[in-house]
Amino acid sequence: MNITRRAFTLASAAAVSSGAAAQDKPVRLAMLGTVGHPGEILGALPRAPRVRLTAVSEDQPAIRARLSRNRAMEGARIYASAEELLAKEEFDIAAVCNDNGARAGVSLACLRRGIPVIAEKPLALTLGDLASLRAEVEQRGRKLTSLLKMRTDPWFLAIRRCVERGELGEVVQVSAQKSYKAMGAGDWRTQAESFGGTLPWIGIDLIDLMRWTSGREFTEVATLQNRIGFEAIGPVDNSVASLFRLDNGGMATLRIDYLRTPGAPTHGDDRLRVAGTEGIAEYTAATGVTLQRRGQAPVQVKELPEERSLFLEFLAHVEGGPAPIAYPDLFRSVEIALKAWESGKGGGLKPVRL
């Protein structure tokens, strides 16, 4: 049974156990903000027939004007702010997809009302806000997850499987890359208060992915980050590199840039390489997943796991199933991203213990 189907089955089973009436009860979904990756949620709705998108807020007028033309939002009431939506609507699950600076506050407002939250990443831009979110989960039993989408992609699931099967031996080196085309002037990401930084916005994906696929923990980090040229993107660092020490003495490297040329065939170029004492697993868009093992010729891994859905798995979690991302892992990845970001401020290499 594939993971996505299992998640949906868990949700259905939980509903049955609470009675026939609960099984048929609609689940009201509100989307607070529409930036980032709301498609990860909207795209899953056809597979969750009980879920109804009932309300959407968006504070950017140009984006808000387009929402009524989005078929996925047909029938949803549209508000100009999260505050207005929260004051007027009742709902069962919150999808918090507003800008990075406002995300933690809106997520906390929902959690404190007892509403489960699936939020864009990063969950927070400060360790204090992260601690507040964690307290809602650990002390009050609230439900929370984040759109760390790379965990759900078949090629990265395949690399994790290689590690779990022992095909790479002991992992001692991990490297990951994200290269994107630069955003235009006026984009919400060009404002420091709404964006935060490149490392917490993009880097958290790679940090979480490297930890999750390798099975190794990070213990120390040093980061260099800067914007060179590209004045239109304001405070956005367009070149970032981090070096991490692994818990077994190995190392991991992270590379991020907004230097991909406008004529490139895709918006982004994601890469991952996990190297161990017995082999190497690597992904690029050009090659797919390749596996090299000692004494064997390199092979392309063609049998890939099925793509997962974080939203369907979160729905299952709300109704009694396991969390799609274990809570200690979820909060740890955010913590590391924020400390890695902090270590790169002010220039110079400043190692930070994790």
Does 26 lie in the same domain as 125?
A: yes
> Looking at residues 324-333, what average pLDDT do you find?
98
Does 165 lie in the same domain as 131?
A: no
Q: Is residue 100 part of a domain?
A: yes
As beta bridge partners, residue 95 has 31, 118
In the prediction, which pLDDT does 15 show?
40
Q: Is residue 329 part of a domain?
A: no
Q: Smallest Cα–Cα separation from 258: which of 187, 158, 173, 154?
A: 187
pLDDT digits 0-9 by tens, 278-297: 999 999 999 999 999 999 99
pLDDT exceeds 60 at position 16: no
Does 133 lie in the same domain as 117?
A: yes
Give, to the nearest 10 degrees, the angle between helix 204-214 and helix 327-343.
Answer: 130
Identity of the amino acid at 36: G
> Looking at residues 160-176, what average pLDDT do you find?
99
Cα 181 from Cα 264, distance rounded (Å) = 8
Backbone angles phi, psi at 277, to 5 degrees: -70, -15
Does 79 lie in the same domain as 96?
A: yes
CATH number for the domain spanning 26: value is 3.40.50.720
Q: Is residue 114 part of a domain?
A: yes
Does 201 lie in the same domain as 343?
A: yes
Band (188; pLDDT cuts 50, 70, 90): confident
159, 274 in Cβ contact below 8 A? yes
Does 170 lie in the same domain as 144?
A: no
pLDDT exceeds 80 at position 235: yes
What is the number of structural domains in the chain?
2
CA atoms within 13 A on the CB side of 249: 1
pLDDT exceeds 80 at position 247: yes
pLDDT digits 0-9 by tens, 92-140: 999 999 999 999 999 999 999 999 999 999 999 999 999 999 999 999 9
Please state the three-class secondary structure of the chain as a single string. CCHHHHHHHHHHHHHHHCCHHHHHCCEEEEEECCCCCCHHHHCCHHHCCCEEEEEEECCCHHHHHHHCCCHHHCCCEEECCHHHHHHHCCCCEEEECCCHHHHHHHHHHHHCCCCCEEECCCCCCCHHHHHHHHHHHHHHCCCEEECCHHHHCHHHHHHHHHHHCCCCCCEEEEEEEEEEECCCCCCHHHCHHHHCCHHHHHHHHHHHHHHHHHCCCEEEEEEEEECCCCHHHCCCCCEEEEEEEECCCCEEEEEEEEEECCCCCCCEEEEEEEEECCEEEEEECCCEEEEEECCCCCEECCCCCCCCCHHHHHHHHHCCCCCCCCHHHHHHHHHHHHHHHHHCCCCCCCCEEC
Does 217 lie in the same domain as 137?
A: no
In the prediction, which pLDDT does 22 show?
53
This prediction has a pTM of 0.92
Does 314 lie in the same domain as 279?
A: no
Q: Is residue 112 part of a domain?
A: yes
CATH number for the domain spanning 256: value is 3.30.360.10
Band (14; pLDDT cuts 50, 70, 90): very low
More confident site: 211 or 190: 211
Q: Is residue 330 part of a domain?
A: no
∠102-268-2 over CA atoms, to 5°? 85
Percent of the chain with pLDDT over 70: 94
Cα 149 from Cα 160, distance rounded (Å) = 15
pLDDT digits 0-9 by tens, 259-276: 999 999 999 999 999 999
Does 314 lie in the same domain as 302?
A: no
Band (69; pLDDT cuts 50, 70, 90): confident
In the prediction, which pLDDT does 23 show?
58
Does 283 lie in the same domain as 231?
A: yes
Residue 30: how many other CB atoms lie within 10 Å: 25
What are the structure tokens assigned to 320, written together? 């009694």
Q: Is residue 117 part of a domain?
A: yes
Q: Is residue 332 part of a domain?
A: no
In the prediction, which pLDDT does 12 show?
42
Q: Is residue 166 part of a domain?
A: yes
Does 178 lie in the same domain as 141?
A: no
Does 176 lie in the same domain as 105?
A: no
pLDDT exceeds 80 at position 85: yes
260, 181 in Cβ contact below 8 A? yes
Full residue range of the structural domain in which residue 10 is found = 3-149+309-323
